[in-house]
Amino acid sequence: MAFERDLNLEATELRLGLPGTQESRSNKRSLPDMNIVDDQGHRSGSSRVISNASDATKSEEETTPPSKTQVVGWPPIRSYRKNSLQAKKSEAEASGIYVKVSMDGAPYLRKIHLNIYNDYPELLKALEDMFKFKVGEYSESEGYNGSEFVPTYEDKDGDWMLVGDVPWEMFITSCKRLRVMKGSEARGLGCAV
Amino acid sequence: MESESKRKKESPNTAELAVTASFPDEVLEIVLSLLTSHRDRSSVSLVCKDWYRAERWSRTQVFIGNCYSVSPEILTRRFPNIRSVTLKGKPRFSDFNLVPPNWGADIHAWLVAFAAKYPFLEELRLKRMAVSDESLEFLASNFPNFKLLSLLSCDGFSTDGLAAIATHCKNLTELDIQENGIEDSSGSWLSCFPESFTSLEVLNFANLTSEVNTDALERLVSRCKSLKVLKVNKSISLEQLQRLLVRAPQLEELGTGSFLQDLTARPYADLESAFNNCKNIHTLSGLWEAVPLYLPALYNSCANLTFLNLSYTALQSGEFAKLVVHCPRLRRLWVLDTVEDKGLEAVGSNCPLLEELRVFPADPFDEEIIHGVTEEGFVAVSFGCRRLHYVLYFCRQMTNAAVATIVQNCPNFTHFRLCIMTPGLPDYLTNEPMDEAFGAVVKTCSKLQRLSVSGLLTDLTFEYIGKYAKNLETLSVAFAGRSDRGMQCVLEGCPKLRKLEIRDCPFGNEALLSGLEKYESMRSLWMSACNVTMNACRRLAKQMPRLNVEVMKEDGSDDSQADKVYIYRTVAGPRRDAPPSVLTL
């Protein structure tokens, strides 16, 4: 199984403080270091959904080397368009404008332009519409209550944070990708810090 | 009568009146010169010797779909008065990196022959040819009447070659540089158009990356009063675009540069007014990095749009839907799959005249699967756009039922290119092969000329194709079929088949050798990663001397396997410019 191959042992390291926190950071309600895995295993696409532990660094590179599941010349897209898309992708992702959004249990990811939203309520509403779920009530001390869905994001430092904790302007410049967590993993975040 | 028909033709304009019951040659030539279709001309030339002769003297345009099917010598010998040449070179799969570099299709030998025999050449349109800077310089210096250069998917040249064209072609009306693999070292080529040069009607440099001198561009646009098509590259900003539009309100086709810039209220108003003043724009493209904020500047222009190309613009469904509401006259639409099914629903609701739809994937190579479009979007378009006849659709899932519905709504498909991006994917609802989907397409769409299949397919798909697709000319197959029978059905059943391209299918020697005579009626056959052996290819080559059988070997592969095979008919014999990795049998 893909995710077992890429277990991040740091996550289980014994330390003081919550996993993923470091002494030098403050005011971050951060989440355990996670690898993005599709634990549902999409049917015939499963071999192509690989843990993206290394993906975070890829946005700096111009082109990603083909993974072993990629076939030469497939899908049939002209080289010009392919190169143009890859250049664009690294530009857009590097500037953080266009980010991936995943939801636990959904087979496909989405991508959104962060800067078409003006504030958190607009963003959350868009996510709710996109994935057909509802977030709970947000409070600074308790996080999201009343729903098994919790919106989180990965910031520039690679930490996973709760959406809503930092001012909006800071959020859109530091957010690299979004993940809507679900279920037991999410419940543990309600009472952090 | 006898002497009339044996009359020598030094000059086609000899005014010798014939006192006969048949057409004098020059009358025949005038009549034939009204024929523009290449196929009609081919038919005419086969009627009798007189007609053959009259046709060859009166032909001014020639289209060569495979540059190796004929030689420059044979061409120039037959047609003495050519002004316009269209040449296509490499096999289409070279677009997807399946053809080795230096494969061939070099234009230079042709240009040398043209310089000698067609010094008054005016137009050259090249697709998938190898073109060097030296060749472009040669072209610029040897053809004083040269007017039109169109390069699509070519490679081997740099912006230096373009500088030569701009500098020397005093009568140039069209320069169209699209999707080429070129070395783009500098935008200074654009500044090479002399100040006295005013004849340009079409300028397309959208796919080049270097910055051009915007003052030079502005002056060029100002003095070329007949400019109808202007497609600029990403380096041109919104503000610069506005200045160009003000100088060319007569434009009919526009490719914008980057649509991303911090515009304050006044420049935005200027932009909107510049667009409003261009009342003739019917084609719009570019819109690189379009920010939804500035799209409303286009809304008034969109009312007359017939072709909108957003295939380099990542718009989401909401923004796209708002735009498409303003495009009721759209006939052709190219988009990225970021617009999703919701965006396509908006197309179905707002564009009843749509004839062509192309949906490209924005993230085809991502390791994670990004949503894109599904069968729902395609179905929604089919309900709203009954005139749809050309589709290219990249998606991640499809069902047989959806395709059946689509062709029921739109039975007039001439081009149906469906790419389900995961190879061998079945109908995701029933888990069955996609045979019935393509069966429905060929049964319902009797005018189908071009078909690309995908998904999990058995031989049944090909039985359907052979049985029903009687007008099919081009077929593309990948990761499909179960046995030789599949390919045989197509070869036996499709009378108008011209191009067959196959990759990664279990078709072998029996299938290959079942098509012997058939290949002479086709332009070409491509088979890669199938089960064809070198021996079978040798047998084919031996039995069919008028076919070129070329095998591209890959490093480290089994000697007896023919990894990539390219077979085409030719009157020019085996080619002599093949690189070492290409074996001509």
Q: Please check whether residue B514 lies inside any domain of the structure.
A: yes
Q: Could you count the other beta carbons within 10 Å of the beta carbon of residue A24? A: 5
Closest CA to A94 of A179, A159, A178, A176: A176
Report the gap between the CA of B410 and the closest CA in chain A (Å). Answer: 25
Looking at residue A31, what is its pLDDT?
A: 53
Please give the helix or strand (H or E) that residue B175 lies within, else none: strand B174-178
Q: What's the CA gap between B559 and B582, in Å, rounded?
A: 13
Query: Which residue has 């002004």 as its token pair?
Result: B83
Q: Residue B548, class by beta-carbon neighbours within 10 Å (0-12 exposed, 13-18 middle, 19+ buried)? A: buried
Closest residue to B371, CB basis, from A64, A81, A109: A109
Residue B114 has pLDDT above 60, yes or no: yes
Closest residue to A75, CB basis, from B207, B370, B419: B419
Chain B residues whose beta carbon lies within 8 Å of the beta carbon of residue A39? none
Residue B221 has pLDDT above 60, yes or no: yes
Residues B380-412: pLDDT tens digits? 999 999 999 999 999 999 999 999 999 999 999
Q: Please check whether residue B509 lies inside any domain of the structure.
A: yes
Q: What's the CA gap between B423 and B396, in Å, rounded?
A: 10
Q: What's the CA gap between B393 and B378, in Å, rounded?
A: 8
Phi/psi at A150 (nearest 5 deg)? -130, 120
* ipTM at complex level: 0.86
Q: Please check whether residue B471 lies inside any domain of the structure.
A: yes
Q: How confident is the model at residue B528 (pLDDT cuts 50, 70, 90)?
A: very high
Chain A residues whose beta carbon lies within 8 Å of the beta carbon of residue B504? 71
Looking at residue A29, what is its pLDDT?
A: 61
Token pair for residue B440? 């429905």
Q: How confident is the model at residue B493 (pLDDT cuts 50, 70, 90)?
A: very high
Residues B414-444: pLDDT tens digits? 999 999 999 999 999 999 999 999 999 999 9
Give percent of chain A with pLDDT exceeding 90: 11
How many residues are listed for chain B in this entry? Answer: 585
Residue B136 has pLDDT above 50, yes or no: yes
Residue B198 has pLDDT above 50, yes or no: yes
Residue A48 has pLDDT above 80, yes or no: no
Report the gap between the CA of A76 and the closest CA in chain B (Å). Answer: 6
Q: Do B368 and A70 touch (CB under 8 A)?
A: no
Q: Is B441 helix (H, G, I), strand (E, B) or coil?
A: helix
| Residue B519 structural domain | 433-447+459-584
Query: Of A36, A42, A44, which to mutate for an interface test with B (greatest number of B Cβ within 10 Å)?
Result: A44
Query: Of B177, B178, B258, B316, which to mutate for an interface test with A (greatest number of A Cβ within 10 Å)?
Result: B316
Token pair for residue A161? 């944070």
Residue A61 has pLDDT above 70, yes or no: no
* B364 interface with A at CB cutoff 8 Å: yes
Q: Do B180 and A80 touch (CB under 8 A)?
A: yes
SS3 assignment for B15-72 = CCCCCCCCCCHHHHHHHHHCCCCHHHHHHHHCCCHHHHHHHHHHCCEEEECCCCCCCH
CB B163 within 8 A of CB B186: no
Burial B425-460 (b: 16+ CB within 10 A, else e): bbbbeeeebbbbbbbbbbbbbeebbbbbbbbbbbbb
* B95 interface with A at CB cutoff 8 Å: yes
- For B274-388, list the strands marked E by DSSP: 283-285, 307-309, 332-336, 356-360
* B399 interface with A at CB cutoff 8 Å: no
Residue B483 has pLDDT above 90, yes or no: yes
Least confident of A39-43, B27-31, B89-93: A39-43
CB B259 within 8 A of CB B284: no
* A111 interface with B at CB cutoff 8 Å: yes
Mean pLDDT of chain A: 67
User: Mean per-residue pLDDT for B452-459?
Assistant: 98
Residue A88 has pLDDT above 80, yes or no: no
Looking at residue A3, what is its pLDDT?
A: 44
Closest CA to B138 of B166, B115, B104: B115
Residue A136 has pLDDT above 70, yes or no: yes
User: Mean per-residue pLDDT for A103-112?
Assistant: 85
Give percent of chain B with pLDDT exceeding 90: 78
Q: Please check whether residue B481 lies inside any domain of the structure.
A: yes
Q: Please check whether residue B92 lies inside any domain of the structure.
A: no
Q: What's the CA gap between B295 and B275, in Å, rounded?
A: 11
CB B132 within 8 A of CB B108: yes
Q: Please check whether residue B485 lies inside any domain of the structure.
A: yes
Q: Do A49 and B364 touch (CB under 8 A)?
A: no
Residues B303-359: pLDDT tens digits? 999 999 999 988 989 999 999 999 999 999 999 999 999 999 999 999 999 999 999
Q: How large is the angle between the packed helices B375-384 and B340-350, nearest 10 degrees?
A: 10
Q: How confident is the model at residue A9 (pLDDT cuts 50, 70, 90)?
A: low
Q: Please check whether residue B349 lies inside any domain of the structure.
A: no
Residue B273 has pLDDT above 70, yes or no: yes
* A168 interface with B at CB cutoff 8 Å: no
Say which residues have a Cβ less than 8 Å from residue B391's Cβ, sequence separation at least 6: B356, B357, B358, B378, B413, B415, B416, B417, B418
CB B393 within 8 A of CB B418: yes
Token pair for residue A126? 């868009």
Token pair for residue A75? 């899908």
Query: Which residue has 């005013």 as its token pair?
Result: B198
Closest residue to B367, CB basis, from A48, A73, A77: A48
Based on its alpha-carbon atoms, the radius of gyration of chain B, rounded to whole angstroms, reads 26
In angstroms, how far is the first alpha carbon of chain B from the final one?
48
Say which residues have a Cβ less than 8 Å from residue A178's Cβ, sequence separation at least 6: A99, A100, A101, A102, A112, A127, A151, A152, A153, A154, A163
Q: Residue B535, class by beta-carbon neighbours within 10 Å (0-12 exposed, 13-18 middle, 19+ buried)? A: exposed
CB B365 within 8 A of CB B399: no
Higher per-residue pLDDT: B213 or A145: B213
Looking at residue A111, what is its pLDDT?
A: 84
Mean pLDDT of chain B: 92
- For B90-161, list the strands marked E by DSSP: 123-127, 148-152, 155-158
* B371 interface with A at CB cutoff 8 Å: yes
CB B565 within 8 A of CB B528: yes
Q: Do A111 and B179 touch (CB under 8 A)?
A: no
Q: What does the DSSP assignment read for B473-526?
A: -EEEEES--SSHHHHHHHHHH-TT--EEEEES---BHHHHHTTTGGGGGSSEEE
**Most confident range, picked from B235-239, B285-289, B335-339, B370-374:** B335-339
* Prediction pTM value: 0.82
Please count the residue pairs, one from chain A and one from chain B, whose beta carbons lie less than 8 angstroms apart: 114
Residue B522 has pLDDT above 80, yes or no: yes
Q: What's the CA gap between B259 and B292, in Å, rounded?
A: 9
Domain count, chain B: 1
Q: How confident is the model at residue A191 (pLDDT cuts 50, 70, 90)?
A: very low
Residue A25 has pLDDT above 60, yes or no: no
Closest residue to B369, CB basis, from A42, A86, A89: A42
Q: What's the CA gap between B435 and B455, in Å, rounded?
A: 9
Token pair for residue B445? 């769409």
Chain B residues whose beta carbon lies within 8 Å of the beta carbon of residue A85? 362-364
Residue B26 has pLDDT above 80, yes or no: no
**Helix-, strand-, coil-residue percentages of chain A, each rounded to 5:** 30, 20, 50
CB contact residues (below 8 A), chain B span 137-176, against chain A: 153
Chain A residues whose beta carbon lies within 8 Å of the beta carbon of residue B207? 80, 84
Least confident of A27-41, A73-87, A155-169, B141-155: A27-41
CB contact residues (below 8 A), chain A span 58-87, against chain B: 64, 66-67, 69-82, 84-86
| Domain at B575, CATH number | 3.80.10
A75: preceding bond cis by omega (within 30 degrees): yes
* A109 interface with B at CB cutoff 8 Å: yes
* B430 interface with A at CB cutoff 8 Å: no
Looking at residue A71, what is its pLDDT?
A: 83
Looking at residue B433, what is its pLDDT?
A: 98
Least confident of A19-23, A121-125, A155-159: A19-23
CB B503 within 8 A of CB B93: yes
Q: Please check whether residue B507 lies inside any domain of the structure.
A: yes
Looking at residue A94, what is its pLDDT?
A: 59
Query: Which residue has 């196959």 as its token pair?
Result: B502
Phi/psi at A139 (nearest 5 deg)? -140, 150
Looking at residue B446, what is its pLDDT?
A: 98
Residue A91 has pLDDT above 80, yes or no: no
Residue B267 has pLDDT above 90, yes or no: no
**Most confident range, picked from A64-78, A89-103, B190-204:** B190-204
* B101 interface with A at CB cutoff 8 Å: no
User: Mean per-residue pLDDT for B58-63?
Assistant: 93
Report H helices in chain A.
Answer: 2-5, 55-58, 79-94, 120-131, 168-174, 184-187
Q: Are strands B547-552 and B582-584 parallel, antiparallel or unpaired?
A: antiparallel
Chain B residues whose beta carbon lies within 8 Å of the beta carbon of residue A50? 367
Burial A102-116 (b: 16+ CB within 10 A, else e): bbbebbbbbbbbbeb
Q: What's the CA gap between B193 and B169, in Å, rounded?
A: 9
Token pair for residue B300? 């008034």
Q: What's the CA gap between B571 and B70, in Å, rounded?
A: 6
Q: Do A76 and B478 touch (CB under 8 A)?
A: yes
Query: Of A111, A115, A125, A129, which to mutate for an interface test with B (greatest number of B Cβ within 10 Å)?
Result: A111
